[in-house]
Structure 1
Amino acid sequence: MKRNLWLLAVCQGLFLTNNVTFIAINGLVGLALAPRGWMATLPVMGYVVGGALATGLVARTQQRFGRRHSFQIGLAVALGSALLCAQAAVWKDFWLLCFATVVAGYYNANASLYRFAAAELAAPDGREKAVSLVMAGGLLGAVAGPNLAAVTRDWFPVPFAGAYLALAAVALLAMGLMHFIDFAAPPPKRTTTGGRSLAEIARQPVFIVAAVSGALGFGVMNLLMAATPIAMQICSLPFGDIALVLEWHVIGMFAPGFFTGHLIRRFGALPVMGVGLALNLGCIAVALSGVDLHQFLIALFMLGVGWNFLFTGSTTLSLSAYTAEEKDRAQGALNFCIFATLALSSFASGVLVTTQGWRLLNFGSLVPVVLTGAALLWLARRQRSTAAAATV
């Protein structure tokens, strides 16, 4: 079991290497190729729109082929889409780049299920730690992603074409590792669909809050992270500084994975998610204080840790909302909520940072933070009321 979890954690790291490299370069390549400046983050948006569109197909392939084969299909798509991105950069074709990132979204939706697969590889009393450990594998992406973008940026006369080719090699490496992971056998096929309908699952308060907090927490993180490379370039900071900020942001996202599971097991998911929300508020406060390198660095690091607490907590929270035979439709719905929110935040980040500026972008991010806080308080009050009624 430990071998499987560590291999899956490395695959998570390679997935995040792809994501962080995309974040680091897609906005900048988009800014260079886009017909209008406000369209710069459309390639970033394409990645998450593709993820949203692919959630239903991913759920069906997971159900039909099982975890390993479905994950390998996702990695094959990652390989092909990275090569297509490289071709778009060489041809200086903005719309081909957007199309390629939409195709890559299938890999995004597929690999986003690694965290749920981790829970299935662990004993019932160790699911929180398993999810947290695999999430910690993203540390590999924290270091490899920005540095990969920086090192391969000038491999060819066309900026960043080498980075896309390097991502194709990363996908090949992940395909090799995935082959050695022993996933749990899929449940036996049934002539009729087992379990409750998605509508019934989605009416549960715990599912609602898991979906809202996971989607909005990810949305806030993406809103600020996607805009950061563009904001820093507008502020005349060099690409090396952009890579450094993104590296520490992703370290913040995944380094807590070594202990977030312990915190959730000891204090519960909701208190840990509340701390994550407070860190988001701290990030916004620091970002509004100025636009020097250290302010970008501290704000994005706090944003990363806050995201980890919110996202790991929401994932753990969701595990109690469905059974094994309901997992594909429930997990697909959760991922759709996340990707739909990411699509909106990716587009909004480019529009806001290029037309309204970094300051207004941060003020706007307060809206989803407040909504997430309201959802957490609502569920906490319901749980206290239920516990009080049970003791009467």
Structure 2
Amino acid sequence: MSVPADLAPDTIARIQTRTVRVLAAGQVLGGVAFGATVSLGALLAADLSGQASLSGLATAAGTLGAALCAIPLAQLAGVRGRRFALSVGNALALVGIIVVVLAAAVREFPLLLVGILLIGAGNAVNLQSRFAATDLAPRERRGRALGTVVWATTVGGVLGPLMLTPGELLGGLVGMPPLTGAYLFAVVAQSAMFVLFLVALRPDPLLLAQRIARAPVASDAPAPEADRPIAARYAVFAIASSHIVMASVMAMTPVHLAHLAHGGHGAGHQGDTTEVTLLVGVTLALHVLGMYGASPLFGVLADRIGRVATVLGGQAILAASLVTAALWPGEPAAVMVALFLLGLGWSASTVAGSALLTESTPIGQRPRRQGFSDTAMMAAAAVGAVLAGVVLGEWGYGPLALLALVFVAAATVLSPLGRR
């Protein structure tokens, strides 16, 4: 039986390489948009609402938006391919950025939450991109491919928070509302990402992988992987629990640092915003560096020592982060270290957990389970962010970190399920 030219192994390998490069470039742009906006959401929410305890609603709205979009985008990907789904998500995020700036101009807190909800679609796109990197990857290189795409977010993700102060200055020159200048960079980055995926993500990796699955002999592909639902469920739980830890603590860090910068006067204190954005920007840049900078290493580890072992390593790093934040909450340097470790632990658990979910699921069910996983992690983080705001307001930053250890313990205790 002759092998079609477009299904030959060397052709598939070339397409996979090109796909990873396109997805990585998109993640650079997505990282700029994410880093320039996520840092400001809590600050804008605290400013427009006048209550620090409501600042968690900003992150909750963003994660809820990603959760609401994850399954529809996954379903679109299963029918129309990754290219169409990712482009739709980018378009929604662009609309959200415009709504956020408008909300800050008219000082409407509910409208702000609507805009951040739409921006969450961009986060769903970033999450789905990591799965797109595994569509055509061989089993022994899935972790590496996934880690490479996640790593690409480092460039934009580190630059994004560092653009807060320049963005604030630029925004002031063009008459933008306070704390919205960095959204100028987000608009440019999100638009470029939209065009890149629409034009360059061809052939579509998921549609091609589905075609290969229908003709395994012709494509010289390995035997289809068996369905392992228990391992897949643990993967979903490990990803979601790690994300709720990361999101809840990270979401409250800008508000906590603003409180420290103002000498304990609270997030609503009207002071020098450039001092706050500089402190928050550097801290969030270190956090994003931890989230994405070491992801190729964790991908290689997941391929070599196993998915579950790498997830457990991530939980250990998360525990170290939370203990640091709990012991020295009033020291900005300690908070920076804690946020860097928080990103590292999230990266190890997410990269390895995503690889475990992919290889535990047949190709025909992957978009649905991947969408469910993203929905679960974002929905859990949305609830966690709201509760984190309450905990921060009532008890403080240290107790918040201690409470997050509960999820680390749960992911560790349940880890044997991932090997079944």
1:284 paired to 2:322 = yes
1:159 paired to 2:178 = yes
- The CA deviation at 1:123 is 3.4
Amino acid at match of 1:184: P
Which residue is equivalent to 1:352? 391
* SS of corresponding position for 1:161: coil
- The CA deviation at 1:244 is 0.8
Which residue is equivalent to 1:386? none
The answer to whether the 8 Å contact 2:240/2:376 transfers is yes
Aligned with 1:172 (options 191, 199, 204)? 191
Which residue is equivalent to 1:307? 346
Aligned with 1:228 (options 253, 262, 265)? 253
Q: Deviations over 1:61-95 (max 9, x none)?
A: 21232111221111111111111111111111111
- The CA deviation at 1:242 is 1.4
Which shows bigger deviation, 346-355 or 293-302? Answer: 346-355
- The CA deviation at 1:23 is 2.3
Q: 1:256 to 1:36 in 2, by over 3 A?
A: same
- The CA deviation at 1:378 is 4.4
The 2-side partners of 1:172 and 1:279 are apart by 35
Amino acid at match of 1:180: A
* SS of corresponding position for 1:322: coil
Query: Could you tell me the percent identity over the aligned residues?
Result: 24
The answer to whether the 8 Å contact 1:86/1:165 transfers is no
- The CA deviation at 1:379 is 3.8
1:364-383 pair list within 5 angstroms: 364-380=403-419, 383=420
Amino acid at match of 1:319: T
Q: Deviations over 1:208-230 (max 9, x none)?
A: 11011000001101111101111
The 2-side partners of 1:112 and 1:344 are apart by 19
> Unaligned 5+ residue runs, structure 2?
1-15, 212-225, 263-274
1:244 paired to 2:282 = yes
Q: Deviations over 1:251-284 (max 9, x none)?
A: 1111112221211121111111111111111111
Aligned with 1:10 (options 19, 25, 29)? 25
* SS of corresponding position for 2:163: helix
Which residue is equivalent to 2:67? 52
The answer to whether the 8 Å contact 1:46/1:343 transfers is yes
Could you list the structure 1 runs, at least 4 aligned residues long, displaced by more than 6 angstroms after superposition.
none
The 1-side partners of 2:388 and 2:31 are apart by 20
Which residue is equivalent to 1:61? 76
* SS of corresponding position for 2:178: coil
1:209-228 pair list within 5 angstroms: 209-228=234-253
- The CA deviation at 1:181 is 2.4
- The CA deviation at 1:20 is 2.5
The answer to whether the 8 Å contact 1:49/1:343 transfers is yes
- The CA deviation at 1:184 is 2.2
The 1-side partners of 2:166 and 2:388 are apart by 26
The answer to whether the 8 Å contact 1:146/1:244 transfers is yes
The 2-side partners of 1:53 and 1:70 are apart by 14
- The CA deviation at 1:108 is 2.3
The 2-side partners of 1:11 and 1:351 are apart by 35
* SS of corresponding position for 2:114: helix
The 2-side partners of 1:142 and 1:75 are apart by 17
Amino acid at match of 1:258: P
The 1-side partners of 2:75 and 2:323 are apart by 43
Q: Deviations over 1:230-251 (max 9, x none)?
A: 1111112642121111111111
Amino acid at match of 1:260: F
1:74-89 pair list within 5 angstroms: 74-89=89-104
1:262 paired to 2:300 = yes
The answer to whether the 8 Å contact 2:232/2:418 transfers is no
Which residue is equivalent to 2:47? 32
Q: 1:185 to 1:117 in 2, by over 3 A?
A: closer
Amino acid at match of 1:44: T
The 2-side partners of 1:217 and 1:308 are apart by 9
- The CA deviation at 1:354 is 2.1
The 1-side partners of 2:404 and 2:156 are apart by 25
Which shows bigger deviation, 14-23 or 264-273? Answer: 14-23
- The CA deviation at 1:322 is 1.3
Which shows bigger deviation, 8-17 or 274-283? Answer: 8-17
TM-align CA RMSD: 1.9
Which residue is equivalent to 1:107? 122
The 2-side partners of 1:126 and 1:325 are apart by 20
The 1-side partners of 2:245 and 2:345 are apart by 10
The 1-side partners of 2:396 and 2:118 are apart by 30
1:190-201 pair list within 5 angstroms: none
The answer to whether the 8 Å contact 2:147/2:296 transfers is yes
Aligned with 1:131 (options 115, 132, 146)? 146
The 1-side partners of 2:186 and 2:367 are apart by 28
* SS of corresponding position for 1:207: helix
TM-score by length of 1: 0.89
Amino acid at match of 2:200: F
The answer to whether the 8 Å contact 1:152/1:162 transfers is yes
* SS of corresponding position for 1:160: coil
Which shows bigger deviation, 367-376 or 107-116? Answer: 107-116
- The CA deviation at 1:148 is 2.1
* Number of corresponding residues: 369
The answer to whether the 8 Å contact 2:63/2:381 transfers is yes
The 2-side partners of 1:323 and 1:377 are apart by 21
The 2-side partners of 1:108 and 1:135 are apart by 12
TM-score by length of 2: 0.83
Amino acid at match of 2:346: W
The 2-side partners of 1:325 and 1:377 are apart by 26
The answer to whether the 8 Å contact 1:78/1:168 transfers is no
